[in-house]
Amino acid sequence: MTLNISTTKDYNSFLSKLKEEIKTSQIKASISVNKEMILLYWRIGKEILSNQEKLGWGAKVIDQLSLDLKKSFPEMKGFSSRNLKYMRKFSQSYPDQKFVQQVAAQIPWFHNCILIDKIKNEEVRIWYINKTIENNWSRNVLVHQIESGLYELQGTAINNFENTLPKPNSDLAKEILKDPYQFDFLTIDEKVRERELEKALIDNIRDFLLELGKGFAFVGNQYHLNVGDENYYIDLLFYHLQLRSFVVVELKQRAFKPEDAGKMNFYLSAVDELVSHTD
């Protein structure tokens, strides 16, 4: 009797494990290559800076250097005049090689180029580097976050977290909120009704979650609660993975009224009682 080994449970488990190891190795190799490339670019930029200062070379040396490097290494990309100027600027922006190795080299090269182009303040630039590493932002997402002013908006929403939440939850909750939120991805009229606004946000849930920030998981809209034989519906319900808390969102297309706070407190108590788990 011939056994088809490819259908056995042990073999499939063995194959799955090998695939995971290969994928992990590929990711590590990719990260290592990116890191080495960025360190190389930093060293090239440093040498260009050093020789320009020492020998008085002008900007034209970069054009000549581009031609010679491309001729010597035709298989390698990245030696255009424009990219060599970025290398020079990169080295000038980060003179400390240790910082480049431990921080800047953890994100792709063109992410670094975007940050150098768009942000002059080093502290803000480092903040965006760390957020990119933390959230694994693509280049387009990074540009969006810079242009929407995430650094300035983070943690600016009015709140009572210091009085109502224990540390470190109060600090974390404050950090995740922005003011204002940018919903430019919605193609709706300013006078849109609340239910239409809700539908537009759900239809664009990926962009909505991106704007809310890291850690938000969508639970549902018009989330049903039954309290004392009465039916209630929460506009939007989220769960935050770091806070380990539910987040209730009420949509109002008007100015805040005192009774809104009472309604929200009612919803929060109901969610604590009916939806939250003991752990």
Contacts of 249 (CB under 8 A, 6+ apart): 234, 235, 236, 237, 238
Instruction: Give tens-digit pLDDT for 100-131.
Output: 988 998 888 999 999 999 999 999 999 999 98
Tokens standing for 15? Answer: 């194959």
- Same domain, residue pair 99 and 166: no
86-90, 164-168, 201-205, 234-238: lowest mean pLDDT where?
164-168
Is residue 56 assigned to a domain? yes
Is residue 194 assigned to a domain? yes
- pTM for the model: 0.57
Contacts of 117 (CB under 8 A, 6+ apart): none
The residue out of 72, 106, 140 marking a domain boundary is 106
- Same domain, residue pair 97 and 171: no
In angstroms, the CA 267 to CA 179 distance is 22
Residue 241 belongs to domain spanning = 161-274
Is residue 279 assigned to a domain? no
The residue out of 106, 127, 147 marking a domain boundary is 106
- Same domain, residue pair 167 and 267: yes
Is residue 70 assigned to a domain? yes
Is residue 5 assigned to a domain? no
- Same domain, residue pair 176 and 266: yes
Counted domains in the chain: 2
Is residue 213 assigned to a domain? yes
- Are the CB atoms for 64 and 81 separated by under 8 Å? no
Is residue 212 assigned to a domain? yes
Is residue 88 assigned to a domain? yes
61-70, 148-157, 219-228: lowest mean pLDDT where?
148-157
Instruction: Give tens-digit pLDDT for 203-218.
Output: 888 888 877 887 888 9
